[in-house]
Chains A and B, each alone.
Chain A
């Protein structure tokens, strides 16, 4: 590095803005060049003087701090007063709106009655436990018996049909989910992927009326409560396909 180059970067050197390599190059030159070294000293001294002088200016910061905290206090109580100065009707409307938004959020998060999270967890666990071929031993395959159960639990005269989605005939079993009895129908497609349909007459507020999708442990559980029936579909298909199957089943229930 020569003198001309040092002059170009001397400010960056003073302000520690050079990379390590350039800093070393500059240092080497400054150690051997008295002219550049004096220039650096003069500039650095000016900075030092300014910094020292500026930092020794007396500050009455405690008084400023008190003023700031006082102004904040005033501002905060003014905001609180503003609320109480509003007409009663507007406060009621505001509270109602907040309550509605909170209820919608809770409903969406599945935290209100009618959307019992433990039911979804239980059906997913039941699906995972009972849909392997080994565990299907003892499942009901007799069509007459299945028809009776479907009439009893689903209030349907015909068997639910998922052939449009590539799923064949179902097998059934009666199970208890979260302490409540459901008819569990299991359908398989050609790839041996199972889809579970849990069905029972609507008798509680366990399942929300709208379609709801819950994703848990790589499974999707979709619930619909319609026409006096509580219906849950569980599969490892994506949520769109699982929702489409649940909606098709709900439509079959309504049509029946």
Chain B
């Protein structure tokens, strides 16, 4: 590093911002569906965060700030007409093995099926599901990250849940008939 000041800034950045790397990468994977895109989005998010780190109010919600940057990155990429995801969701054999969950007393559903169904949702719906359900954001935090009113978060979340349930049922039905 060029000097001590940069070194201290980097240490603070690692402590406050990079501590949320897993959450951002996980959400990016859920939203982008493609591992390479997810990593690119996450890296771009962190580079932007590094650039504007001095403007971040220490002690405030760093996770929320990073997610807001991430959704700006995603929107920017979308506006450049870069398709976020063409490839199906990638899953390791380990994931497939460990993630068998009882969904219904009469049937068993695998985690892979839920992720696949979620990946068929619109990006808006995936984003809100990931924030509120997976990352446990409050509606207010999700609204700030997505830069939309709380009412929009609520309605998107409601529709996303219904849509996910329909997709799970439809996928299961087509799987059984196939």
Contacts and interface: CB of A to CB of B under 8 A. Distances in A.
Interface string B122-149: 0000000110111000110000000000
B139 A55 contact: no
A64 B134 contact: no
A58 B92 contact: yes
Nearest to B3: A80
Interface in A36-60: 42-43, 45-60
B168 A46 contact: yes
Contacts of B25: 59, 61, 64
A256 to B, nearest CB: 54
B111 A56 contact: yes
Contact of A58 (B14, B94, B103, B138): B94
Contacts of A77: 2
A71 B47 contact: yes
A69 to B, nearest CB: 8
A59 B26 contact: yes
Given A15-B132, A56-B99, A61-B22, A67 B161 contact: no
A11 B157 contact: yes
Given A11-B157, A15-B139, A56 B95 contact: yes
B57 interface: no
B65 to A, nearest CB: 16
B6 A76 contact: yes
Contacts of B6: 76
A106 interface: no
B43 A57 contact: no
Contacts of A51: 133-134
Given A15-B132, A50-B133, A65 B21 contact: yes
Interface stretch (B71-79, B112-120, B170-178): B112-120
B115 A53 contact: yes
A72 interface: yes
Interface residues of B, number: 47
Dominant secondary structure at the B interface: helix
B95 A49 contact: no
Contact of A52 (B47, B99, B118, B132): B99
Contact of A57 (B10, B91, B158): B91
B84 to A, nearest CB: 16
Interface string B85-117: 000000110110011010100000101101100
B68 interface: no
A51 B6 CA distance: 38
B2 A55 contact: no
22 contacts: A11-B157, A15-B132, A46-B168, A47-B133, A47-B161, A49-B109, A53-B99, A53-B101, A53-B112, A53-B115, A57-B26, A57-B30, A58-B92, A64-B42, A65-B18, A68-B42, A68-B46, A69-B10, A71-B47, A72-B10, A76-B6, A77-B2
Given A11-B154, A57-B29, 17 more contacts: A15-B132, A15-B157, A46-B161, A46-B164, A46-B165, A47-B161, A49-B101, A52-B99, A53-B114, A53-B115, A54-B26, A54-B115, A54-B134, A56-B98, A59-B22, A68-B42, A72-B13
Interface of B: 1-2, 6, 10, 13-14, 18, 21-22, 25-26, 29-30, 39, 42-43, 46-47, 50, 91-92, 94-95, 98-99, 101, 103, 109, 111-112, 114-115, 118, 129-130, 132-134, 138-139, 154, 157-158, 161, 164-165, 168
Interface of A: 11-12, 15, 17, 42-43, 45-61, 64-65, 67-69, 71-73, 75-77, 79-80
The 3 A-B pairs of least Cβ separation, nearest first, read A53-B111, A54-B134, A68-B46
